[in-house]
Amino acid sequence: MFGARRLFSAGWLILLAGSLLAGVAPEVWVELTGRAVQGVGAALIAPSALTLLMMLFGHDPKELTKALALYGAAAPAGGTAGVFLGGLITEYLSWPWVFYINIPIALIALAATAPLMPATPATRGSIDVLGTLTVTLGLGAAVYAIVRAPEAGWGSAETWLFLIVAVVLLAVFVAIQARRRQPLMRLSIFRTPNLSAANLTQLLLGGAWIPMWFFLNLYLQQVLGYSAFPSGAALVPMTVLIMIGMIVLAPRAINRFGPKATTVAGLVLLTAGMAWLSLISPDGSFATDVLPASLIAALGMSLAFIPSLGTAISSARPEEGGLASGIVNTSYQVGSALGLAAMTAVAAANGADRLGDLPALTDGFSAAFVGAAAIALAGALIAAITLRTRTSAPTDQVTTSRG
C-alpha cells in the first residue's frame, strides 16, 4: 500500500526513536517500551528490505542468488556479531551504548535510502487491523505461556489459560483472513508449490539456531566464567564461518546439488553440531567443548538458510513479493521466539535456573542443546519430505540458474 522504500525509511526512523528511548531509560519499564518500539521498526525494515532486494535483482537469477547470499550472511551473522559488540561496548563503555550505536547507523541508512533504493508507487487498499491484532496477541500469548510454564507449572490454570487464548486468537485470525476481501495474509498463497515447505523450514531453523547461540553464550559466561567481552569474542569464529559459508559455500552447493539437498544437508549438520554441544561439561573449555561443535553448527546454518530463504521468496508471484518477504521473516522470527521460549523452559526444568551450581547449569544448557538439535532434525526431515526439487516459475528460474 505505501511502498517498500517508504516503509524501509519509516522502520529506521522508528528504530532510531526506540533506541534513544531505551538508552535514556531511567527505569526498566521505559527500557522495555523502547525495546518494543525497536521491534516495530525492525518489523518494518526486514520485509521491506527483502522486497527492495527482489526489486533490484529479481530480473537476474544469478545476481539474485548473490544478493540473497549477502543478505543471508548479514542477518544471522549480525546477531552473532551483536553479541560480540554488545560485550565490547558493555565492558568498556556502558550498557546504554548498545542502544545509542543504532542511532548513527539509522541516520546513515536513512541518508542512503533515497538515492539507492528504487521508488515504489503507493496503491489503494485497507489495513487489516483486526487481523494484525489477533495474530500478534495470539503469538504473544503462546510465547508468554511457554516462558511462564516453568514457574507457573505446565498444568497450572495460568499456563492453560494463555495457551487456550493463543489458540482461539490464532483461529480467529485464520477465519478473518479467509473472509476478508483484502486480508493481512492471503491464505491461498500457501498453495504455491514450495512456499509453505520453505517457510516451515525457516521457522524450524530459527527455532533451533537462536536457542543454540543464546545458551552457548550463557554457558560461556555462567559456567566457564567468561566476562561480557570474551564471551562475545568466543562467538567470532562462528560469525566468520557463517559469512564465508553463506557468501561462498552455499551458492556453490546450491549450484552443484540444488536448493533442497543443500537445505537438508545444512540442517543435518546443524543437528550434529548441537548434539555435540550437548556434551558440554562443568569443567570444560572453549577449545574442546565449544569451538569445534559451534563451527559445525555454523556451517550447517549457512548452508540451510540461503536456499530455504530463496525458495520461500522466489516461489511467490512477483506482485506478491512483499507478502512472501513478510511471511518468511515472520516465520523465522516466530520460530526463534517459540524455540527460545520452549528451550528456556526445558533448560530451567533441568537445572539452568540454579545460578552458581555449575553441574546443574551445565545439565540445563545441555538439555536445551538436545532440544534445539531435535528441532533442527525435524526441520531436516520435513524439508526432505516436503520441498520439491522442481517447481513452476519463478522458482524454476532461480533453481535453473543454480543448476
Q: For 4-127+184-401, which CATH class?
A: mainly alpha
Distance CA 271, CA 378 (A): 9
Mean pLDDT of 248-261: 90
Give residue 401's identity as a one-letter amino acid code: S
According to the model, what pLDDT value does residue 110 have?
95
% of the chain exceeding 70 in pLDDT: 94
The Cα angle at residue 395 between residues 193 and 60, in degrees rounded to 5: 160
Q: Is the pLDDT of residue 23 over 80?
A: yes
Looking at the predicted structure, is the pLDDT value of residue 395 above 50? Answer: no
Counting other chains too, the contacts that 148-151 makes at CB distance below 8 Å and 24 or more residues apart are 149/345, 150/344, 150/345, 150/348, 150/349, 150/353
Q: Which of 79-93, 243-257, 303-317, 356-370 has the lowest mean pLDDT?
A: 79-93
Take residue 249 and report the three cell numbers written for it. Answer: 559455500
Contact 330, 132 (CB under 8 A): no
- What angle, rounded to 10 degrees, do the helices at 195-218 and 291-314 form? 150
CA distance 67 to 374: 31
Question: Which residue, among 372, 333, 332, 345, has the nearest Cα to 144 in the 3D structure?
Answer: 345
- Is there a contact between 281 and 362 (Cβ–Cβ < 8 Å)? yes
Query: Quick one: pLDDT at residue 162?
Result: 95
Statement: the pTM of the whole predicted model exceeds 0.85: no
Mean of the per-residue pLDDT values of the chain: 87
Other C-beta atoms closer than 10 Å to the C-beta of 183 total 17
Residues in the chain: 403
C-beta atoms surrounding 64 within 10 Å: 22
Q: Which SS3 state, helix, strand or coil, does residue 55 take?
A: helix
Question: How many degrees, rounded to 5, is the angle at CA 14 between CA 27 and CA 91?
Answer: 50
Residue 80 confidence class, pLDDT cut points 50, 70, 90: low
Q: Which residue has the higher pLDDT, 61 or 258?
A: 258
What pLDDT, on the 0 to 100 scale, is given for residue 318?
67
260: its cell numbers: 533442497
pLDDT band at 362 (very low <50, low <70, confident <90, very high): very high
Given a cut of 50, whether residue 365 has pLDDT beyond it is yes
Give the angle subtended at the CA of 57 by the CAs of 53 and 58, to the nearest 5°. 95
pLDDT tens digits, 275-285: 999 999 999 99
Q: Which of 20-29, 44-53, 86-95, 256-265 has the lowest mean pLDDT?
A: 86-95
Q: What is the pLDDT of residues 317-353, one digit of tens each?
A: 766 767 787 788 888 888 988 899 889 989 988 998 8
| Mean pLDDT within 58-72 | 80
pLDDT at 147: 78
Average pLDDT over residues 51-74: 81
Section 291-315 average pLDDT: 90
Q: What is the average per-residue pLDDT within 176-190?
A: 85
Q: Is the CB of residue 169 less than 8 Å from the CB of residue 137? A: yes
Is 106:13 a contact under the CB 8 Å cutoff?
Answer: yes
Mean pLDDT of 126-137: 90
